[in-house]
Every structure is written in C-alpha cells, then in structure tokens.
C-alpha cells in the first residue's frame, strides 16, 4: 500500500503519521519526506504493509493533519493509459514494447492518432488504434471527437507521445493533472514549435527533453523529468533531431515510471519527486 500526503508544515507531523499507522498495526516499509521551507509545505510518500480500510485511514489521518492536507491512500495500483500520437514513432514504440513485456507499470488502453501512419505498429501489438484527423475541421470538433473516443475507456493518464498539437484549455480542464507531454527541449528554454531549430540558431552546447504535466500554459506545466546531452558546432538541426529522439524516449519512460509508481506530488506549478 502507498500513502501520499502533502500539507502545511508543522512540528511533529512525521511522529503523528507514524503513531497513527502504528495504532492501526501498519508497518512502514519505506518513508520519504520533504519540507519546502519557502512554501512551508510538507510532502511524504510512505509504503506500508498491513491490512486496513483505506477510507477509515484517510479519515483518521485528516483528523491529525492540518486542514489543507491532501491525502491519497493506495492509489490505483493497476493503472491504464491512453496515448495520443501524430507521425513520430520513437516514443510510442518504446511504450508499446514495455507494455508488451509488462515492464511499463500500466496497461495501454488505446492509441489515438491524428494521422494514420502509426496504426500498423499498434496492430502488431494488438492495441486498439483510432485515426481522428484534425484536417478540415475546427479544433473544437477535433477535440470533441477525441473525448468521445476516450470516453469509451477507463484510464488514469493521457500520454502525449509526440502528439505535436496544442490542446485547448477546455480539453485540459476535463483531465486535470492527467495529461503528460514529452517536449523536445530542456524547458523553459525554447518553448513551442521547432525547438531544435531554435537551439541550432542559438548555438547551444546542450540540448534536452522535458516530460511535464500539461496545463493551460503552453509547455509550462509542472516538470516531472528532464535530461540533457552535449552537442557542438558541427551539429546540424537534423543531427540535433536525431540525438534528441533518443533522449525524448528516455525522459518520457522515466517520467511514466515515476508517475505510475506514485512518486510524484504536485503543488501549484512544481513537483516533488521521490525517485
């Protein structure tokens, strides 16, 4: 069982939580905590052994903790994801392979693409694929079709595996902190389109990738994972794109591992990651 808590900080929080768990004969296997001194906020992730009523445990904890406490007892251990794609295959193929060999930490419910080109690889892995074109229709109609298809599935997260389309605030509001994107830049550098072109023109010596939750602010949602690699003056934009695909795949895989293992807590526009 996993217990996630965040609340205003005060003296004795760890002792209160540990004492309550002891009263219910629950053994703490692992406990990680962090205090953001600037915000005066406490975060913890606890792995527990023992049998208990999750609702009762949550209620008992709420009675002991500050009134603003956010408590999540035993998040869904068998998670499902849906994946949105365009044409690029590298992130999707990694997800499908991990799903096939049961190392993803979740089950892929379906894949939706605004182009049809990735339907074949989904068929090879026996994953439902839906082609919903954005061409010749408004964004509102396109997103309505996305939502109608998504409504046929139970899922915990939507993964934008190089989806390359900006989703509207109306769409995002339906799935708060449920949409995860991989952006081909070390954010906050080079927000928006063509970041490799922007990086090449700026003459940077490092490029990177960022996995983040999607919010109404383009490429500015809470960051889950990032990595960088070195480049030099000899790299063309194409060279950067080729190198970047490898790091994009790795960063998205890392971010999904963290999220699916319930190791990420979000407050305002920042994350606490218990890696």
Q: How far is CA 71 from CA 122, 153, 167, 210, in A?
A: 37, 26, 29, 27
Q: How far are the Cα atoms of 26, 177, 202, 229 from residue 206, in angstroms, in the given order?
A: 47, 29, 11, 6
The per-residue pLDDT for 189 is: 67
- Residues of the chain above pLDDT 90, percent: 77
Of residues 200 and 154, more confidence is placed in 154
Residue showing tokens 């080079």 = 190
CB neighbours (10 Å) of residue 12? 9
For the sheet containing 70-73, what is the strand order?
A: 27-36, 41-49, 2-8, 70-73
pLDDT band at 200 (very low <50, low <70, confident <90, very high): confident
Q: The tokens of 225 are what?
A: 């994972």
Rounded to the nearest 5°, which phi and psi values hold at 124?
-65, -30
Displacement of CA 94 from its chain's centroid (Å): 16
What mean pLDDT is predicted for residues 106-131?
98
Angle between helices 195-202 and 237-260 (to 10 degrees): 130
- Residue 99 · residue 159 · CB < 8 Å: no
pLDDT higher than 90, residue 125: yes
- Please state the three-class secondary structure of 85-112 as a single string: ECCCCHHHHHHHHHHHCCCCCEEEEEEE
Which active-site residues does the annotation give?
A: 219
Confidence of residue 187 (pLDDT cuts 50, 70, 90): low
CATH superfamily name and code, 2-73: ACT domain (3.30.70.260)
What is the average pLDDT value for the chain, to the nearest integer? Answer: 92
Q: What distance in Å separates the CA atoms of residue 133 and residue 114, rounded to the nearest whole number? A: 4
Determine the Cα–Cα distance for residues 197 and 220; give it in Å rounded to an integer: 20
Res 244: pLDDT? 79
Domain 79-273, architecture per CATH:
3-Layer(aba) Sandwich (3.40)
Q: Where are the domains of the chain?
A: 2-73, 79-273
Same fold, 2-73 and 79-273: no
**Of the candidate ranges 89-98, 134-143, 217-226, the one whose mean pLDDT is the lowest:** 217-226
- CA angle centred on 152, ends 215 and 104, rounded to 5°: 65
Task: Identify the three-state secondary structure at position 205.
Answer: coil
Query: Nearest-CA neighbor of 263 among 33, 19, 29?
Result: 33
pLDDT(52) > 90: no
3-state secondary structure (DSSP) of residue 139: helix
The helix, strand and coil proportions of the chain, stated in percent and rounded to the nearest 5, come to 30, 30, 40
Buried b (16+ CB within 10 A) or exposed e, 167-186: beeebbeebeebbbbbbbbb
Average pLDDT over residues 169-182: 96
Residues 68, 7: contact at Cβ < 8 Å? Answer: yes
Whether residue 189 contacts residue 213, with contact meaning beta carbons closer than 8 Å, is answered with no
CA max distance for the chain: 64
**Arithmetic mean of pLDDT, 43-66:** 93
CA distance 133 to 141: 10
């Amino acid at each position: 069982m996993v217990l996630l808590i965040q609340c205003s900080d005060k003296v004795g929080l760890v002792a209160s939580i540990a004492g309550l768990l002891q009263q219910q004969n629950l053994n703490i296997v692992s406990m990680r905590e962090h205090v953001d001194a600037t915000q005066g906020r406490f975060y913890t992730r606890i792995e527990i052994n023992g049998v208990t009523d999750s609702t009762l445990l949550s209620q008992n904890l709420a009675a002991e903790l500050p009134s603003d406490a956010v408590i999540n007892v035993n998040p869904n251990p068998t998670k499902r994801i849906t994946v949105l794609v365009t044409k690029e295959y590298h992130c999707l193929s990694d997800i499908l392979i991990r799903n096939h060999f049961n190392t993803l930490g979740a089950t892929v419910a379906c894949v939706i693409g605004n182009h049809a080109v990735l339907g074949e690889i989904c068929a090879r892995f026996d994953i439902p694929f839906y082609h919903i074109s954005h061409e010749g229709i408004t964004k509102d109609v396109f997103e309505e079709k996305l939502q109608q298809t998504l409504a046929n599935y139970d899922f915990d997260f939507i993964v934008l595996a190089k989806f390359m389309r900006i989703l509207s605030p109306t769409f995002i509001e339906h799935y708060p902190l449920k949409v995860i994107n991989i952006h081909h830049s070390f954010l906050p550098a080079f927000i928006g389109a063509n970041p490799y072109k922007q990086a090449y023109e700026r003459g940077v010596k490092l490029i990177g990738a960022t996995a983040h939750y999607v919010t109404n602010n383009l490429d500015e949602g809470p960051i889950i994972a990032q990595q960088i690699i070195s480049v030099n003056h000899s790299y063309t934009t194409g060279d950067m794109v080729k190198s970047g695909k490898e790091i994009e795949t790795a960063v998205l895989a890392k971010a999904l591992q963290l999220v699916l293992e319930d190791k990420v807590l979000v407050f305002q526009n920042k994350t606490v990651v218990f890696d």
